[in-house]
Amino acid sequence: MMMQGIRKAGQGFLGKLVIAIMFGFLIISFAIWGVGDIFRGYGRNEVAKIGKTEISVEQVRNAYQTEIQNLIRQQRRQISPEMARALGLDRQVLSRLVSEATLDQTAQNMGLAVSDETIRNLIFDDPVFRDASGQFSAARFNELLRSNGYSEQSYVSLQRATILRQQVAELVSGGLTVPTALQEIGNRLRNEKRAVTFARLPASAAGEIAAPTEDQLKTFYNDRKIAFRAPEYRTAAILAITADAVADPTKVTDDEAKARYEALKAQRFTTAETRTVEQIPFPNAEEAQAAKAKIDGGETFDEIATERNVAFKDLTLGTFTRDQIFDAAVREAAFALAQGAVSAPVQSAFGTVLLRVSKIDPQHVRPYEEVAEEVKKEIATGRASSRITELHDKIEDERASAKPLAEIAKQFNLQLRNAGPMSQGMTKPDGSQEQALPGADATLRAIFASDIGVDNEAIRLPQNAGYVWFDVTKIDPSRDRGFDEVKGEVETQWRADETATKLSTKARELVQRLDKGEAFATVAASAGLTVQTAADVARQDQRPELPANVVTQVFGTAAGKANSAAGADGGRILFKVDSATVPPYVRTTQEADNFVRLLSANLSEGLLLQYVAERQAKLGVSINEAAFRNATGGAQN
């Protein structure tokens, strides 16, 4: 992150664009490079060659390790090399390096250069390198470079290359402007609103579905055999140490728990007194005093409110604790009243009022006996963090001696969980769901990226919450399931498809009637449907009555026309677009300005991507896959 702060030259629009692209977002398809055509004419220590520029194994290795460390910091959990490759991080790193080399060579061919004075000014003017007095500090400069793995020479070279890449980008897309016609299209896409009349066709509207024959089901199965294929299932032994698992509340004494309780009682275990406050406002203190005299003489608070034309819904100010009433005068008066009593005139921040407290819920303190277990568990959990680190080291020592997880769990009195068989979707063979795994998706992905007998690295839980170890104990490969095995599923899916087909046919007939001019109410009544309407429907709306797919279909239908779309529970929604309105496009609004800037950035990025792809095609890009695997630790084929 320091580099973004120190690249002052990248503060402009194109500068930021180039930096974003060059440092993680420019992912050109390897199809453009022709990965299969491995270049064999250069050394085994070069991973790629772009024109005359070669990218070494060491360059790729260093860049790849840096990206893994960045990802670990962002995700706050351990990322193994295998997981990084599964995410495609290795290819992304190589893509970035190739793209940077392409722009570097392009800048060189154009004869572009950056003077030493420009680099010197860039460094001297950078606030990151200034001391407390605001002056450039050579000591701070050198310290920051060392801590980020740069020498002065390598840092200057990096800055020079970055500026040159920006210059190339400015030559490609620096003069780009967004046409007004495109802006107006964007305005329509963002701000168009539609009004629709619609009705639901439930699945039952398809009528009775006759029982299928055996031949019909077998044909349906054979046409969709892959849909009934059993996924790969895996079984794993999982050992997790977390604060909750390691904590031992029985070792917390009552004296310790009571001391903790007393420290937290006011904040955690005390429910403050609340009062429901009502008020009647008056234009001046005299009228308020006269009203209070009437109440003292026998009239009720509600009768005065009626005389003052104060509606019942406006009478209640709200239910508050003392601290929640910001007006000091109202606060003191309200909390001095007995329940049902009326105050003397109070000069509030918004005028003179009479107050009544209609309900008082007194302060409640949960006794120690009620929360003792909770407090002891909290203390034990807090102490467990140090034991987690100690246990981690001991378990790693045992793992290094090839001891099975089951024995390790028994040795340290920890619970071993046998998870699975489960699919990557966490389903079991019987269709039920596997319980959530410690480490969640990270653990699941790691299990399916591993193999039987592999010594897997521990997965570090987010926020240093603990560790998870696992061993894959069984793999049931994906397989085709025979017709007899899935006959019930086949029939269920066949009926769903038949229902959908009949509903679609019926909806199409109703749409044709609507488009011929029949009233929606008449068409709906003939099919026994209930008519509903929706106004101001936006393109991105997701309403309970109009799911996202239906809204998409609404905006794909011309105003005045009818259509239908699949609804929930196997039904369909019949609709007619009553109107489509687009507000006038006003270029001077902040919203429009933000949109133009976003669209300009997207267009500029797309243009630069195309330019880099063209340059790579002309220069020629070759990839040495063996060297690439060596640099990133990939498996050798």
Q: Tell how many helices (H) and how many strands (E) occur in the chain.
A: 25, 17
Compare 624 and 3 and report the one with higher pLDDT.
624
Least confident of 360-364, 477-481, 594-598, 633-637: 633-637
pLDDT tens column, 354-370: 999 999 999 898 888 88
Q: Please tell me the distance from the alpha carbon of residue 330 to that of residue 349, in angstroms, as a whole number.
A: 9
| H/E element, 572 | strand 572-581
Q: 631 or 195: whose pLDDT is higher? A: 195
- What pLDDT score was predicted for residue 558? 92
What are the strands, taking DSSP E only, across 204-362?
233-242, 270-271, 274-282, 316-320, 346-348, 351-361
The tokens 């797309």 sit on which residue?
606
Q: Is the link from the previous residue into 421 a cis peptide, with omega within 30 of 0?
A: yes
pLDDT digits (tens, 9 = 90+) for 188-225: 778 889 999 999 998 888 888 889 999 999 999 898 88
Q: How confident is the model at residue 6 (pLDDT cuts 50, 70, 90)?
A: very low
pLDDT digit string, tens, across residues 266-296:
888 888 889 999 999 898 999 999 999 999 9
pLDDT digits (tens, 9 = 90+) for 444-478: 988 998 898 888 888 888 766 788 899 999 999 98
Q: Give the residue among 232, 230, 235, 240 at the shortest CA–CA distance from 440.
A: 240
pLDDT tens, residue by residue, 296-350:
999 999 888 888 888 777 788 888 888 888 888 899 999 999 999 999 999 987 7
What is the structure's pLDDT at 42? 45
Is pLDDT larger for residue 170 or for residue 352? Answer: 352
Return the pLDDT at 78.
67
68, 148, 63, 69: which is closest to 98 by C-alpha? Answer: 63
| pLDDT (average), residues 440-445 | 87
For 518-541, what is each residue's pLDDT tens digit? 999 999 999 899 999 999 898 888
The model's confidence at residue 637, banded by pLDDT at 50, 70 and 90, is very low
**Could you tell me which of 637, 636, 635, 629 has the C-alpha nearest to residue 60?**
629
pLDDT tens digits, 544-587 = 888 888 999 999 999 999 999 988 778 899 999 999 988 887 77
Give the pLDDT of residue 269. 86
What tokens were used for 181? 């016609």
The amino acid occupying position 443 is T
Tens digit of pLDDT for each residue in 22-47?
A: 434 343 333 333 333 333 444 567 88
Q: Are 334 and 277 in contact (CB under 8 A)?
A: yes
pLDDT tens, residue by residue, 370-420? 888 888 877 777 777 667 777 888 888 888 888 888 888 888 888 889 998
pLDDT of residue 20: 42
Residues 6+ apart with CB under 8 A from 335: 273, 275, 322
Query: Considering only CA atoms, which of 87, 103, 92 is closest in space to residue 25?
Result: 92
Distance (Å, rounded) from C-alpha 387 to C-alpha 264? 25
DSSP string for residues in 147-180: HTT--HHHHHHHHHHHHHHHHHHHHHHTT----H
